[in-house]
Amino acid sequence: MKLKLLILFVIAVASCKSPEARYPVTQSSGSYINESAQRNKDLLTQEEEKIQLIIAQDCTQNYIASSNNFWYYYNQKSTDSTNTVTPDFGDVVVFDYSISTLDGEPIYAEGEKPTREYAIDQEKLFSGLREGLKLMKEGETVTFLFPSYQAFGYYGDKGKIGTNVPLKTKVTLHSIKTKTDNEINN
């Protein structure tokens, strides 16, 4: 009987103790985020150096630096002085494009990707091409050099383009249907 009372007393005393907080075994200081940011900066620097080297070695083209941190040149520029329209938000463009590495090795050759119809800034498209199309006029062909973060970035395209691959993309813009044209036709 005394043993039962002693066990009961121990249980009662133990159950009155307030719960203690469990602390993590390791604590992170945020260094992973800082290291990741530094890796991305280093990657961008390497890609930009490679693009600058390509531009320096190619004296046949007149490269233009965009405000969106990619470079481009015109394969075929519109000479029509009345052709001044560039696509804007909501406009629908029809274009073809091919993708290669910066060294010119084809990833998606001309004609491999179907002609695409795209509503500017309203559908999925990689950021560099989305911004590049806004610089073009009907009938123009432009070659863009995109650092990987302007292309498919860390994820690639889940097909032929891998992780962090800078790209050369040749685009031909066939037509632009402005937002006002679209509203009239609907």
| CATH classification of the domain holding 138 | 3.10.50.40
Q: Would you state the pLDDT for residue 36?
A: 86
| 2 against 71, higher pLDDT | 71
- For residue 94, the model assigns a pLDDT of 97
pLDDT at 43 over 70: yes
The answer to the question of residue 33 being in a domain is no
50 in any annotated domain? no
Look at residue 127 and tell me if it is in a domain.
yes
- Pick the residue with more confidence: 154 or 50? 50
| 131 falls within a domain | yes
Assess if residue 7 is contained within a domain: no
Domain assignment of residue 54, yes or no: no
- Using CA atoms of 73, 79, 82, 88 in order, give the dihedral in degrees to the nearest 10: -10
Residue 80 pLDDT class (50, 70, 90 cuts): confident
| pLDDT of res. 55 | 95
Predicted TM-score of the model (pTM): 0.79
Per residue in 107-135, pLDDT tens? 999 988 899 999 999 999 999 999 999 99
Least confident piece of the model among 23-27, 115-119, 171-175: 23-27
Number of Cβ within 10 Å of residue 159's Cβ equals 9
pLDDT at 81: 83
Query: Using 50, 70 and 90 to split pLDDT, how confident is the model at 5?
Result: low
Q: How many angstroms separate the Cα of 11 from the Cα of each of 6, 16, 17, 55, 62?
A: 9, 9, 10, 79, 85
Predicted confidence band of residue 186 (pLDDT cuts 50, 70, 90): low
Residue 90 pLDDT: 93
Q: Which positions ≥6 away from 183 have C-beta within 8 Å?
A: none
Q: Per-residue pLDDT for 51 more than 70? A: yes
Residue 30 lies in a domain: no
> Rounded to an integer, what distance in angstroms lies between the CA atom of residue 13 and that of residue 11?
6
pLDDT bin (cut points 50, 70, 90) of residue 13 is: low
Domain that holds residue 161: 63-79+89-185
Residue 175 lies in a domain: yes
Distance, CA of 55 to CA of 49 (rounded, Å): 10
What total of structural domains would you count in the chain? 1
